[in-house]
Amino acid sequence: MTGLADAAVWASALTKRFASTLAVDHVDFRVEPGELFGFIGPDGAGKSTLFRLLVTLYTPDEGEARVLGLDPVKDLWRLRRKIGYMPGRFSLYPDLSVAENLSFYASVFGTTVERQMATIEPIYRQLAPFAGRRASALSGGMKQKLALCCALVHDPEILFLDEPTTGVDAVSRREFWDLLARLREGGLTIVVSTPYMDEASRCDRVALIQHGRILRIDTPDAVCAAYPLPLLGVRGVDRLGMLDAMRMHPHAESVWPFGASLHFTDRRAGADPRQLASELREWLAARNIEVEVTPIDPTIEDAFMLLMSQQERAEVAAP
């Protein structure tokens, strides 16, 4: 870690209240230049509020933040020239064409699409066939690419993308992240939020966020590796019966449905997962449930689910 002055973004005890709810609750983090940094969390976790605090749209109730060394409260006009922002809501003009939307956002920053072609070329190439089409007539994936293009068209020093892939099909999501990877290779700092945990692996580092608090910040691999308990994958026919039974298991920390299988976390830290797997199989067999149990590596989602449930338990214990 270097000094705060080198960070692309930092926040210290950043807090935003709406009436009685703490949307962002004393958040501390820093984003390094050139990093692709993800905020991962469910809807209502406070991601959009946090982004709006950083892009000068909200003023914090407590704490402070710097983006590119500038204070979003005091230096808003200088900062607005340097950041690219893609709001969570679709925010293009539906009655204007792709080309018109793009050239409008370019003109607002005193530039032109042609002059910025080097920056936007990889995205624009995909949009070009639809240049004359109205934004309202684009597919969801294309709309997001246009919005990204509009956020990039003034060659910003940092990009804030609030849930850019929400409501977009799986193929378009992958294409979108491929574009972000290319932009990151070009040296652009990107801060992105998403409710999709499978997207976390595309980030350099992720911050897991819930109820306005950051639960953990680390690389995706480190988040997974830090999973503290043995994790077992359970496959069987009667998933519902399995779920009910396993939740009664004396050593169950958590049981979650995960795709086609169930993920079982055993409370006995440090125990041999193979041993636990055969134990669990026999325990279920004794209850007339035939399953296949294998030790598995935790994913980001597992880590997040565990952290969330632990935080919730802590909140119940000490509100």
Interacting residue ranges for other proteins, rule: CB under 8 A: 52, 55-59, 76-77, 80-81, 83, 85, 87, 89-96, 100, 103-110, 112, 150
Could you tell me the CA-to-CA distances from 38 to 172, 189, 190, 196 in Å, in that order?
Answer: 18, 11, 8, 11
CB of 202 to other proteins, least distance (A): 25
Query: Structure tokens of 224?
Result: 């997974």
**Residue spans of alpha helices (H) in the chain:** 47-54, 76-82, 98-108, 117-127, 140-152, 170-185, 220-225, 239-247, 273-285, 300-317
CB of 269 to other proteins, least distance (A): 45
- The residues near 72 (Cβ < 8 Å, ≥ 6 apart) are 53, 54, 55, 56, 65, 66, 79
Torsion of CA 19, 23, 29, 35, to 10 degrees: -130
Max CA distance (Å), the chain: 73
Nearest CB to other proteins, comparing residues 115 and 267: 115
Nearest CB to other proteins, comparing residues 99 and 252: 99
Nearest CB to other proteins, comparing residues 107 and 139: 107
Dihedral sign (CA 78, 81, 84, 88) = positive
Sheet holding 252-258, edge to edge: 252-258, 261-266, 231-236, 291-295
* Backbone φ, ψ for residue 125 (5° rounding): -60, -35
CB of 262 to other proteins, least distance (A): 40
> What is the SS3 assignment for 135-165?
HHHCCHHHHHHHHHHHHHCCCCCEEEEECCC
Nearest CB to other proteins, comparing residues 81 and 235: 81
Nearest CB to other proteins, comparing residues 85 and 283: 85
Are the CB atoms for 10 and 4 separated by under 8 Å? yes
CB of 96 to other proteins, least distance (A): 6
Nearest CB to other proteins, comparing residues 54 and 242: 54
CB of 109 to other proteins, least distance (A): 6
- Roughly how many angstroms between the first and final C-alpha of the chain, as a whole number? 33
CB of 42 to other proteins, least distance (A): 21
Nearest CB to other proteins, comparing residues 59 and 139: 59
CB of 183 to other proteins, least distance (A): 19
193 beta partners: 39, 162
Nearest CB to other proteins, comparing residues 56 and 193: 56
Separation CA 39–CA 209 (nearest Å) = 7
CB of 24 to other proteins, least distance (A): 13
